[in-house]
Amino acid sequence: MITEFYDVVLVDFSGLLPFKLEKEDILTRQEQVSSHNLYFFLSELEKNLGESFVYFGSDLLETRLFHRVMLKDGLLELLIGTPVTLLAHYKEPSNAEKFKDSLQKTLKKTLPKHLVPLVENSIEIKKIEKKFDSVDAINNNVGFKKLGRIS
């Protein structure tokens, strides 16, 4: 069985997004400003996408903050640091296209006009294909463990 996924990918190598963090900024005043900017960015993205988000956690991975947001039909992962990386995972290509369009609208609202084209050009949709032999292989790939019989 071949399973297809569609990822909307934005990697901000230039550090133009307003919620970037440098290594030394983690747990400082800059992190508070960055968090405020991220909240504003996600609020605008939520409005443009026309759905509610469910924020379900963050972790500190070395020098980057990793945020996870559940979308109606997908999952959004944000790695805040250098570079900022945004990944939206979808099963349907139409959902990925809709997210990309909403992301572009959000960038126009949250970035200075002259920076928008620079960041927009780095947004892409990637088709990911994975081959699985069975449902057990899918479960093993995402980290589910098979439970024994409960008596």
* Cβ atoms 95, 74 nearer than 8 A: yes
Q: pTM for the full model?
A: 0.77
Is the pLDDT at 71 greater than 70? The verdict is yes
Of residues 58 and 124, the one with the higher pLDDT is 124
64-70 β-sheet, strand order: 54-61, 64-70, 74-80, 84-90, 2-12, 123-131
Please report the beta strands in the chain, taking only residues with DSSP state E, as ranges in sequence order.
Answer: 2-12, 54-61, 64-70, 74-80, 84-90, 123-131
Strands 84-90 and 74-80: antiparallel
Complete domains list, the chain, with CATH? 2-141 (3.60.90)
Res 58: pLDDT? 82
Express each pLDDT in 24-54 by its tens digit: 555 554 555 467 788 889 999 999 999 999 9
Which of 57, 68, 65 shows the shortest CA–CA distance to 82? 65
